[in-house]
Structure 1
């Protein structure tokens, strides 16, 4: 919360203050929108109550009554918020006042505004509303002082406010047309089932369904259809039953990933606006709109999980100050592209960084020393099998598993660990490509980062006991974008120091201890 006081005026002088902007209110339709989060749980609840009305007991009616009470309390709270909230944008600040019992006066100087993100869920869009989140770009911007949210204003007003905040201009100006950089290609949807999101969606549906049945106190054992399906599965041979269940879960995962892809990336557009900012718009039901000033762009991160690597595809994420890298793959505001082929990702990288070609595509990466391979072989062929044999041994001790599962688990894990360790070693690399530092590492998710060298604010070197014995260290380039750091794991100490000095001359040199020349 920011408290401001007015300076006393000089006696005998009446200065002419600037024209004050009028205070504005949220839209009254936000009262209805506020209870929209109850619609999601209410629909499956009512559907389950209707289909299983013969099995419903008093517990189910209590749950339904609780939902009605919660909806009324939420609507009353939103009415109070609507009546007590005021906001305005002046020439120098963004101001917000809210609260009934506890008043909050918040103001953010306009020159500190780093991002203005516009979001509208399906209910917002149904009523023509949107939410604008104004951020200052602080990595610790989790408190109220570093973030201001205008939730419940008209979409036209939200677009005007975002343009006004990012352009640093005045109302009434007519912006030039943006330059398109990328558009959605529906052929990219074939990569959606190759992500972890599809498996997570199946687990979420199964878990949510079981929780709903448990909340209503329903037992599927009393349902005739459920009994018939279970009896049919039990009549099949075990391999056939496992194949049927796996096929059903796989079908659900593929269908869910395609639906999720369409909802998250429908209408995807990436544009360069004339005032010098990148603007990304996407979303079918919940529209998301993110604008980032190009002077805040520090680089990109190209991530390729194992399934996407097998088909030469990956994801692209923007590294920029003032743009958090948190959130899921669907809601992360920094994600520039859905899973897409390599040529599309490299083209978007070059366009976003305003380069002739992608620094990632043409980077000749330096390899890492052999001790880095030994470290990965120890993890994959010794530590991982031991970790897999431990739960199997516990199962043998408790009785359910036979003794041979322990060596089998260790052997299978070691057989998989060796090629994965070799692949992890081949994935290590670092290089300097023009103005960019390029770093690559990882196996299950191989990440390649291209970071502008002038955005590096410091270097950190760390050594574990095993690294000290092997002559290795982990260098970390500190930056204000993304996760705040770019790691170069298991690099030779001397080579790493030379590389850090070459990347940012004058920073490491004064702290290096040079060995004296041998005397004759």
Structure 2
């Protein structure tokens, strides 16, 4: 298939690192980090002690052994952190950020300051209690390795972390004398009315699953059996005395209440104090968090676009979530909890307004363009999967369950038509969700059913285009066109687009890039 590439839009030739500033001292992490390192045990230990207290009539030797193991783990973790504190040194010079760590295996890392793309400052409740913070430095490089390749200063004072972030992004000297005093420009703030959308996300279901699985695992760890508890037996007897429909409704209502409450608590913790600001030095600054504060700064020249995601429940109420696409700022969850997420679930018009402000455009590139649909062959591919393959798989699974006596016989007969009906509706919806277009300096691409995603990517941030075809796509005259970029997940895919249309779109997005690889189109006279 056709492949075309071009160089990155902001390359810089390699150059020798600047020499360190004379007399710039090496610095240590804060010694309080030794205490902070064992904070992750506080939650499980509290749950363990509470369970031991409430179920003390069932407590046995196994529970005391588990409690002792927590103490041993805490001691080992504290010792490891003390070694890290004693062996870690770092400093910022005129040209580099340097980090040295390790006792048996020594590690030396250095990042040229002109290659820093983002600085993520995070402080969990224990960090904040001791006045500490962690700074993760992003360079935009993709090595395919673990977080050990990232340069993270975890365990420095918050004032020092703020100063370091300003130095890394604003290119000031190590003494911080040239910091700009101008005030930032606010772009967006949290509205608590948006909390009504929180139960419409997967957080509700995740909260229920977390409570149920966490509780069962804790009881299993302690070797406790609920059937021996008087409280559990009384609750079961009361449910058993109710009609089956009422009992199921009562359990469902309790689980739903737990999910809604969990999603609201999670929303408040994650998005309290949320604001987006444009700093005078040319950076976007995102701040949020109640217990764990998160503060991310991204140089605006590294901003490449946004992704608008709309799960099915949010689509039903005209709401969406917004994520920033920028080099050096990953789009997936990780240690610092979605650093690229711009907005919580919010009204669609608010998401479009923030998109325009963040991209410094008069209007949102997503809102102002009508997307081009895809060929009918793309619909046929989805109908085959939704109306033939999925019902066949459902019938086979339920048939096996009925043959084993695990399911009633009628489930096997009803599975295929029910799955076919759902598959048809989802296939039609997935086809309607396909689209692509050029919107000024951006390409806009949309796809998805359960979660419909619309990406607006700056054309200058596209590194190249790659086309891939499966056997079924070749027979249908379709292919998947991928725009490669250093931002977000590294690729934006236009699925099941006509080959000729896809090549024309790639050429229009980056003129002169695909033309040498295209066969000349026949003239009308021919």
Could you list the per-position Cα deviations for residues 235-277 of structure 1 after superposition, in whole angstroms to 9, with x for gaps in the alignment?
2222111111111110000000000000000010100111101
Residue 172 of structure 1: aligned partner = 177
Could you list the per-position Cα deviations for residues 68-102 of structure 1 after superposition, in whole angstroms to 9, with x for gaps in the alignment?
11111211222222222221111111112222233
Residue 248 of structure 1: aligned partner = 254
Match status 1:224 vs 2:240 = no
Match status 1:211 vs 2:217 = yes
The answer to whether the 8 A contact 2:140-2:486 is kept is: no
Residue 123 of structure 1: aligned partner = 126
CA distance in 1: counterparts of 2:296 and 2:145, whole angstroms: 19
| Cα offset, 1:471, TM superposition | 1.2
The answer to whether the 8 A contact 1:264-1:330 is kept is: no
| Cα offset, 1:20, TM superposition | 2.3
Matched position secondary structure for 2:57 = coil
Residue 65 of structure 2: aligned partner = 62
CA distance in 1: counterparts of 2:408 and 2:53, whole angstroms: 46
Give the count of matched residue pairs.
Answer: 507
Partner residue of 1:139 out of 138, 142, 163: 142
Residue 22 of structure 1: aligned partner = 25
Match status 1:356 vs 2:362 = yes
The answer to whether the 8 A contact 1:477-1:487 is kept is: yes
Partner residue of 1:34 out of 21, 34, 37: 37
The answer to whether the 8 A contact 2:20-2:95 is kept is: no
Partner residue of 1:82 out of 62, 85, 89: 85
Residue 97 of structure 1: aligned partner = 100
Match status 1:479 vs 2:485 = yes
CA 1:47–1:143 in structure 2 vs 1: closer, same or farther (change >3 Å)? closer
CA 1:237–1:160 in structure 2 vs 1: closer, same or farther (change >3 Å)? same
The answer to whether the 8 A contact 1:167-1:275 is kept is: yes
The answer to whether the 8 A contact 1:136-1:146 is kept is: no
The answer to whether the 8 A contact 1:141-1:147 is kept is: no
Residue 196 of structure 1: aligned partner = 202
Unaligned runs of 5+ in 2: 1-15
TM-score under structure 1 length normalisation: 0.94
Higher relative contact order (CA 8 A, sep 6+): 2
CA distance in 2: counterparts of 1:107 and 1:330, whole angstroms: 21
Residue 372 of structure 1: aligned partner = 378
Residue 448 of structure 2: aligned partner = 442
CA distance in 2: counterparts of 1:142 and 1:267, whole angstroms: 33
Moved more, 431-440 or 394-403: 394-403
CA distance in 2: counterparts of 1:31 and 1:237, whole angstroms: 56
The answer to whether the 8 A contact 1:269-1:282 is kept is: yes
Matched position secondary structure for 1:125 = helix
Match status 1:342 vs 2:348 = yes
CA distance in 2: counterparts of 1:101 and 1:374, whole angstroms: 60
Match status 1:279 vs 2:285 = yes
Matched position secondary structure for 1:404 = helix
CA 1:516–1:304 in structure 2 vs 1: closer, same or farther (change >3 Å)? closer
Structure 1 moving runs of 4+ over 3 Å = 141-146, 515-520
The answer to whether the 8 A contact 1:117-1:289 is kept is: yes
Moved more, 180-189 or 109-118: 109-118
Unaligned runs of 5+ in 1: 1-5, 8-15
The answer to whether the 8 A contact 1:20-1:90 is kept is: no
Matched position secondary structure for 1:54 = helix
Moved more, 401-410 or 300-309: 401-410
Residue 297 of structure 1: aligned partner = 303
Could you list the per-position Cα deviations for residues 2-60 of structure 1 after superposition, in whole angstroms to 9, with x for gaps in the alignment?
xxxx99xxxxxxxx984221111111111111110110110000001111111111111
Residue 48 of structure 2: aligned partner = 45
Residue 13 of structure 1: aligned partner = none
Residue 11 of structure 2: aligned partner = none
CA 1:413–1:144 in structure 2 vs 1: closer, same or farther (change >3 Å)? closer
Match status 1:426 vs 2:432 = yes
TM-score under structure 2 length normalisation: 0.93
Matched position secondary structure for 1:169 = coil
Within 5 Å, give how 1:404-419 maps onto structure 2: 404-419=410-425
Moved more, 392-401 or 249-258: 392-401
Matched position secondary structure for 1:97 = strand
Let me know the Cα RMSD of the aligned residues. Answer: 1.9
CA distance in 1: counterparts of 2:426 and 2:525, whole angstroms: 48
CA distance in 1: counterparts of 2:148 and 2:117, whole angstroms: 14
